[in-house]
Amino acid sequence: MRKNILITGASTGLGEGMAREWAAKGCNLALCARRADKLEALQRELQQAHPHIRVLVRGLDVCDYDQVFEVFRGFRDELGSLDRVVVNAGIGSSQPIGRGHFAANRHTAETNFIAAIAQSEAAMEIFREQNSGHLVLMSSVSGVRGFRGPLNVYAATKAAVASLAEGLQLDTKGKPINVSNIMPGYILTDINRDTKNAPFRVDLETGVKALVKAIESEKRRAYVPWWPWTPLSYVLKSLPFGIFARAM
Protein backbone atom coordinates (compact mmCIF):
# COMPACT_ATOMS: atom_id res chain seq x y z
CA MET A 1 0.00 0.00 0.00
CA ARG A 2 1.15 3.54 -0.74
CA LYS A 3 1.59 4.80 2.84
CA ASN A 4 2.70 8.45 2.52
CA ILE A 5 0.39 10.48 0.27
CA LEU A 6 0.70 14.14 -0.73
CA ILE A 7 -2.43 15.91 -2.00
CA THR A 8 -2.50 19.45 -3.38
CA GLY A 9 -5.70 21.48 -3.26
CA ALA A 10 -6.60 19.48 -0.15
CA SER A 11 -8.61 22.08 1.78
CA THR A 12 -11.92 21.60 -0.07
CA GLY A 13 -13.81 19.41 -2.53
CA LEU A 14 -12.17 16.34 -4.02
CA GLY A 15 -8.85 16.92 -2.26
CA GLU A 16 -10.46 17.12 1.16
CA GLY A 17 -12.61 14.09 0.39
CA MET A 18 -9.64 11.99 -0.73
CA ALA A 19 -7.74 13.00 2.41
CA ARG A 20 -10.57 11.65 4.58
CA GLU A 21 -10.72 8.39 2.61
CA TRP A 22 -6.98 7.71 2.84
CA ALA A 23 -6.86 8.73 6.50
CA ALA A 24 -9.49 6.08 7.22
CA LYS A 25 -7.28 3.56 5.39
CA GLY A 26 -4.34 4.35 7.70
CA CYS A 27 -2.25 6.45 5.32
CA ASN A 28 0.00 9.31 6.41
CA LEU A 29 -0.99 12.54 4.69
CA ALA A 30 0.86 15.60 3.44
CA LEU A 31 -1.81 18.18 2.65
CA CYS A 32 -1.35 21.57 1.03
CA ALA A 33 -3.60 24.33 -0.28
CA ARG A 34 -3.90 28.10 -0.22
CA ARG A 35 -6.34 28.07 2.71
CA ALA A 36 -4.04 27.19 5.59
CA ASP A 37 -6.83 27.75 8.14
CA LYS A 38 -9.03 25.11 6.52
CA LEU A 39 -6.10 22.72 6.29
CA GLU A 40 -5.40 23.10 9.99
CA ALA A 41 -9.05 22.39 10.82
CA LEU A 42 -8.91 19.27 8.61
CA GLN A 43 -5.66 18.23 10.27
CA ARG A 44 -7.23 18.42 13.73
CA GLU A 45 -10.27 16.45 12.57
CA LEU A 46 -8.26 13.66 10.96
CA GLN A 47 -5.75 13.31 13.76
CA GLN A 48 -8.52 13.12 16.34
CA ALA A 49 -10.38 10.49 14.30
CA HIS A 50 -7.23 8.54 13.36
CA PRO A 51 -4.57 9.11 16.04
CA HIS A 52 -2.29 6.43 14.59
CA ILE A 53 -1.52 8.37 11.39
CA ARG A 54 0.52 11.50 10.69
CA VAL A 55 -1.18 14.46 9.04
CA LEU A 56 1.15 17.25 7.91
CA VAL A 57 -0.16 20.51 6.45
CA ARG A 58 1.43 23.47 4.70
CA GLY A 59 0.00 26.48 2.93
CA LEU A 60 0.75 26.49 -0.79
CA ASP A 61 -0.20 28.52 -3.82
CA VAL A 62 0.71 26.16 -6.66
CA CYS A 63 1.37 29.17 -8.91
CA ASP A 64 4.30 30.05 -6.63
CA TYR A 65 6.50 27.59 -8.43
CA ASP A 66 9.57 27.85 -6.20
CA GLN A 67 7.35 27.21 -3.19
CA VAL A 68 5.98 24.04 -4.82
CA PHE A 69 9.46 22.49 -4.78
CA GLU A 70 10.13 23.68 -1.21
CA VAL A 71 6.85 22.28 0.12
CA PHE A 72 7.16 18.92 -1.64
CA ARG A 73 10.74 18.44 -0.43
CA GLY A 74 9.78 19.53 3.08
CA PHE A 75 7.01 16.95 3.23
CA ARG A 76 9.40 14.28 1.91
CA ASP A 77 11.95 15.14 4.57
CA GLU A 78 9.37 15.05 7.38
CA LEU A 79 7.81 11.74 6.33
CA GLY A 80 11.02 10.13 5.08
CA SER A 81 9.51 9.42 1.66
CA LEU A 82 6.54 10.19 -0.56
CA ASP A 83 4.77 7.20 -2.05
CA ARG A 84 2.04 9.00 -3.99
CA VAL A 85 1.54 12.61 -5.10
CA VAL A 86 -1.91 13.69 -6.26
CA VAL A 87 -1.79 16.81 -8.44
CA ASN A 88 -5.29 17.94 -7.59
CA ALA A 89 -5.13 21.73 -7.19
CA GLY A 90 -7.02 23.61 -9.88
CA ILE A 91 -9.80 26.04 -10.64
CA GLY A 92 -12.94 25.51 -12.67
CA SER A 93 -13.56 28.93 -14.11
CA SER A 94 -12.74 30.22 -17.58
CA GLN A 95 -14.34 32.66 -19.98
CA PRO A 96 -15.21 32.77 -23.71
CA ILE A 97 -12.22 33.73 -25.86
CA GLY A 98 -12.24 37.26 -27.29
CA ARG A 99 -14.61 38.77 -24.71
CA GLY A 100 -12.05 40.75 -22.74
CA HIS A 101 -11.23 38.11 -20.13
CA PHE A 102 -7.63 37.25 -21.00
CA ALA A 103 -6.40 37.75 -17.42
CA ALA A 104 -8.96 35.30 -16.07
CA ASN A 105 -8.19 32.72 -18.76
CA ARG A 106 -4.45 33.10 -18.23
CA HIS A 107 -4.96 32.50 -14.52
CA THR A 108 -6.94 29.33 -15.28
CA ALA A 109 -4.24 28.10 -17.66
CA GLU A 110 -1.45 28.84 -15.20
CA THR A 111 -3.23 27.20 -12.25
CA ASN A 112 -4.47 24.12 -14.08
CA PHE A 113 -1.54 23.41 -16.38
CA ILE A 114 1.66 25.38 -15.70
CA ALA A 115 1.30 24.68 -11.99
CA ALA A 116 0.66 21.01 -12.81
CA ILE A 117 4.02 20.95 -14.60
CA ALA A 118 5.71 22.42 -11.51
CA GLN A 119 4.05 19.85 -9.25
CA SER A 120 4.99 17.02 -11.62
CA GLU A 121 8.59 18.25 -11.77
CA ALA A 122 8.81 18.39 -7.97
CA ALA A 123 7.20 14.96 -7.53
CA MET A 124 9.22 13.24 -10.25
CA GLU A 125 12.50 14.57 -8.84
CA ILE A 126 11.64 12.92 -5.53
CA PHE A 127 10.44 9.71 -7.17
CA ARG A 128 13.57 9.44 -9.31
CA GLU A 129 15.74 9.85 -6.21
CA GLN A 130 13.70 7.17 -4.41
CA ASN A 131 13.37 5.01 -7.53
CA SER A 132 9.70 4.56 -6.66
CA GLY A 133 6.43 6.48 -6.46
CA HIS A 134 3.02 7.07 -7.98
CA LEU A 135 2.19 10.38 -9.67
CA VAL A 136 -1.53 11.11 -10.12
CA LEU A 137 -2.62 13.88 -12.48
CA MET A 138 -6.23 15.02 -12.20
CA SER A 139 -7.56 15.82 -15.67
CA SER A 140 -11.28 15.76 -16.59
CA VAL A 141 -13.67 14.22 -19.08
CA SER A 142 -13.87 17.74 -20.52
CA GLY A 143 -10.32 17.15 -21.80
CA VAL A 144 -11.59 14.57 -24.30
CA ARG A 145 -12.75 17.17 -26.87
CA GLY A 146 -12.80 20.93 -27.25
CA PHE A 147 -15.68 22.79 -25.61
CA ARG A 148 -17.34 26.03 -26.59
CA GLY A 149 -17.71 29.29 -24.68
CA PRO A 150 -16.88 29.45 -20.98
CA LEU A 151 -15.52 25.89 -20.93
CA ASN A 152 -13.05 26.45 -23.77
CA VAL A 153 -9.89 27.27 -21.82
CA TYR A 154 -10.74 24.99 -18.90
CA ALA A 155 -11.18 22.01 -21.24
CA ALA A 156 -7.96 22.89 -23.03
CA THR A 157 -6.01 22.84 -19.76
CA LYS A 158 -7.42 19.42 -18.90
CA ALA A 159 -6.50 18.08 -22.35
CA ALA A 160 -2.98 19.39 -21.76
CA VAL A 161 -2.79 17.66 -18.36
CA ALA A 162 -3.90 14.38 -19.96
CA SER A 163 -1.19 14.73 -22.60
CA LEU A 164 1.39 15.53 -19.92
CA ALA A 165 0.41 12.36 -18.06
CA GLU A 166 0.77 10.18 -21.15
CA GLY A 167 4.18 11.64 -21.93
CA LEU A 168 5.34 10.87 -18.40
CA GLN A 169 3.97 7.35 -18.76
CA LEU A 170 6.25 6.91 -21.77
CA ASP A 171 9.20 8.28 -19.76
CA THR A 172 8.60 5.87 -16.86
CA LYS A 173 7.64 2.75 -18.80
CA GLY A 174 9.48 -0.23 -17.34
CA LYS A 175 10.53 1.71 -14.25
CA PRO A 176 9.22 1.47 -10.66
CA ILE A 177 7.40 4.80 -11.01
CA ASN A 178 3.74 4.82 -12.06
CA VAL A 179 1.82 7.73 -13.56
CA SER A 180 -1.98 7.86 -13.68
CA ASN A 181 -4.27 10.19 -15.59
CA ILE A 182 -7.59 10.48 -13.72
CA MET A 183 -10.50 11.97 -15.67
CA PRO A 184 -13.49 12.70 -13.43
CA GLY A 185 -16.93 13.52 -14.71
CA TYR A 186 -19.27 15.74 -12.72
CA ILE A 187 -18.75 15.20 -9.00
CA LEU A 188 -20.61 17.65 -6.78
CA THR A 189 -18.22 20.29 -5.41
CA ASP A 190 -18.30 24.07 -5.10
CA ILE A 191 -16.76 24.30 -8.58
CA ASN A 192 -19.89 22.89 -10.27
CA ARG A 193 -22.54 23.37 -7.57
CA ASP A 194 -24.27 26.12 -9.57
CA THR A 195 -23.73 24.50 -12.96
CA LYS A 196 -27.10 23.98 -14.62
CA ASN A 197 -25.87 21.50 -17.23
CA ALA A 198 -24.02 18.81 -15.25
CA PRO A 199 -25.05 15.46 -16.75
CA PHE A 200 -24.61 12.30 -14.68
CA ARG A 201 -23.38 14.30 -11.69
CA VAL A 202 -22.82 12.23 -8.53
CA ASP A 203 -22.60 13.33 -4.91
CA LEU A 204 -19.22 14.03 -3.35
CA GLU A 205 -19.02 10.87 -1.22
CA THR A 206 -19.81 8.60 -4.18
CA GLY A 207 -17.37 10.45 -6.40
CA VAL A 208 -14.53 10.44 -3.91
CA LYS A 209 -14.84 6.71 -3.21
CA ALA A 210 -14.71 6.06 -6.96
CA LEU A 211 -11.71 8.37 -7.30
CA VAL A 212 -9.72 6.65 -4.56
CA LYS A 213 -10.53 3.23 -6.00
CA ALA A 214 -9.42 4.35 -9.47
CA ILE A 215 -6.21 5.92 -8.16
CA GLU A 216 -5.30 2.86 -6.12
CA SER A 217 -5.67 0.67 -9.22
CA GLU A 218 -2.76 2.72 -10.67
CA LYS A 219 -4.06 2.39 -14.21
CA ARG A 220 -2.67 4.69 -16.88
CA ARG A 221 -6.08 6.30 -17.46
CA ALA A 222 -9.32 6.08 -15.51
CA TYR A 223 -12.65 7.81 -16.03
CA VAL A 224 -14.55 8.44 -12.79
CA PRO A 225 -17.17 7.18 -12.19
CA TRP A 226 -16.49 4.39 -14.67
CA TRP A 227 -20.13 4.43 -15.80
CA PRO A 228 -21.14 6.25 -17.92
CA TRP A 229 -17.94 8.18 -18.56
CA THR A 230 -15.73 5.41 -19.91
CA PRO A 231 -18.01 4.37 -22.78
CA LEU A 232 -19.22 7.93 -23.27
CA SER A 233 -15.67 9.20 -23.66
CA TYR A 234 -15.13 6.86 -26.61
CA VAL A 235 -18.36 8.09 -28.19
CA LEU A 236 -17.30 11.71 -27.75
CA LYS A 237 -13.88 11.04 -29.30
CA SER A 238 -15.35 9.31 -32.34
CA LEU A 239 -18.15 11.78 -33.17
CA PRO A 240 -17.59 13.68 -36.43
CA PHE A 241 -17.10 17.38 -35.77
CA GLY A 242 -20.43 18.42 -37.28
CA ILE A 243 -22.43 16.05 -35.09
CA PHE A 244 -20.33 16.96 -32.03
CA ALA A 245 -20.97 20.68 -32.68
CA ARG A 246 -24.72 20.15 -32.82
CA ALA A 247 -24.68 18.05 -29.65
CA MET A 248 -22.66 20.60 -27.70
Helices 102-109 and 152-172, packing angle to 10 deg: 20
Q: Please pick, among 65, 154, 186, 234, the residue that the annotation labels catalytic.
A: 154
- Is residue 154 annotated as a catalytic residue, yes or no? yes
- Rounded to whole angstroms, the Cα distance separating 65 from 61 reads 8
DSSP for residue 58: E
Residue 140: CA count within 13 A, CB half-sphere: 27
Taking each helix axis as running N to C, give the angle between helix 152-172 and helix 115-130, from 0 to 180 degrees, rounded to the nearest 10: 20
Adjacency order of strands within the sheet including 55-59: 55-59, 28-33, 4-8, 84-87, 133-138, 177-184, 221-224
63 Cβ contact partners less than 8 Å away, ≥ 6 residues apart: 110, 111, 114, 115
Dihedral over alpha carbons 78, 81, 86, 89 (to 10 degrees):
30
Cα distance between residue 239 and residue 230, in whole Å: 15
Neighbour tally for 196: CB within 10 Å: 5
**Which active-site residues does the annotation give?**
154
